Amino acid sequence: MACTSFVKLNTSASSTVFGQRSFNQRSGSSSTRSSVSRVSVIRAGSYSEELVKTAKTIASPGRGILAIDESNATCGKRLASIGLDNTEANRQAYRQLLLTTPGLGQYISGSILFEETLYQSTTDGKKMVDCLKEQNIVPGIKVDKGLVPLPGSNNESWCQGLDGLASRSAEYYSQGARFAKWRTVVSIPCGPSALAVKEAAWGLARYAAISQDNGLVPIVEPEILLDGDHSIDTTLEVAEKVWSEVFYYLAQNNVLFEGILLKPSMVTPGADHKEKADPETVAKYTLTMLKRRVPPAVPGIMFLSGGQSEMEATLNLHAMNQSPNPWHVSFSYARALQNSVLKAWQGRPENIEAGQKALLTRAKANSLAQLGKYSAEGESEDAKKGMFVKGYTY
């Protein structure tokens, strides 16, 4: 989506820093203090213990998330890259290849599914969710309904899907899902506007509260897009403002922090910036942002790859795990786990084993990166190729 101009994030009307906003409220009348006190109390829900257990299972050492929650249209683009038609049978064959990979559970703790896959079975009649459970992989579900234009903004977007979310979440839980994913985006070339940031944060917080109320651990994902020629310092500034707003509204909605997971973007320069950042710089900036904005109560930080090459995403994750962190710092990759699989499989039954081997290779590499033990020695040229797509949609 084109942007009309670069507008600095305007926070003068209302502070977006969690601590500062709370301090301003506390300095008011006794009724205001009472209101803030009520907002800060987290009510014990019927699923609280299960949510904490699920989050800890997903945030387990050496494991991360395989994201295969692309819409049918986006999955069709993946299949088209290897000459396959976008049919349900072909989508089933591809996702079956991924979810039945022997040994996958050693490196993967959760998998985000599209609704079609949650209700789908393999060609021999086994439910896809059961294939995951057999390997101690937690099934998850994409619950948002996609991005649409945000009126009154600088050509920005907002994420729809809150209507009917409670009933859908309850049904997903009964089908076997135990965590949820909601993706909204923030565009730096578009400002971002204060309106877009507030809308993203509030939508994520409402989704998170509804998910927890229905037994699903919410993955909180305000993706800061790579689009643009901005510096890494600009990305850091915007990321800090976005995450402070997100956690303010999560607290207002009484979300249990111990029962959520985050899916942030890594703090990098814009894709078109003349200077690229090495893994050590990305790690330094990203961890600085997280330590300033994310409470240690959050069990896991599951990074998105955001169009980085397979090797780049793994190297950056490795660099972030060279010293202890307050949280489990891991991965929730889609393209950075699937790209090699598609090239190895090519849609041919005789190549299923090769495709599964490629998936295990990438999953193991990121498992080692989560443990801080990855080496890029022996990586293929394909793994080094970037996958950035301007204005990428799922």
Active site residues: 221, 263
**255 class by beta-carbon count within 10 Å (0-12 exposed, 13-18 middle, 19+ buried):** buried
Residues 17 and 203 sit within 8 Å (Cβ to Cβ) = no
The answer to whether 112 and 219 have CB atoms below 8 angstroms apart is: yes
User: What is the rounded CA–CA span in Å between residue 386 and residue 104?
Assistant: 25
Residues in the chain: 394
CA distance 296 to 64: 19
- 277 within 8 A of 235, measured Cβ to Cβ: no
The long-range contacts involving 13-18, CB below 8 angstroms and separated by at least 24 positions, are 13/194, 16/194, 16/197, 16/241, 16/244, 16/245, 16/248, 17/241, 17/244, 18/244, 18/247, 18/248, 18/251, 18/293
Closest Cα partner for 254 from 212, 300, 299, 302?
Answer: 212
Rounded distance between C-alpha atoms, residue 175 and residue 44, angstroms: 24
Contact 355, 99 (CB under 8 A): no
Six-digit token pair at 347?
Answer: 């849609």
Residue 261 backbone phi and psi in degrees, to 5: -130, 150
Determine the angle formed by the axes of helices 30-40 and 18-26, rounding to 10 degrees: 140
Cα dihedral 173, 295, 366, 374 in deg (nearest 10): -160
CA 275 to centroid of chain Cα atoms: 26
- By the 10 Å C-beta count (0-12 exposed, 13-18 middle, 19+ buried), 163 is classed as exposed
Q: What are residue 140's DSSP bridge partners?
A: 112, 179
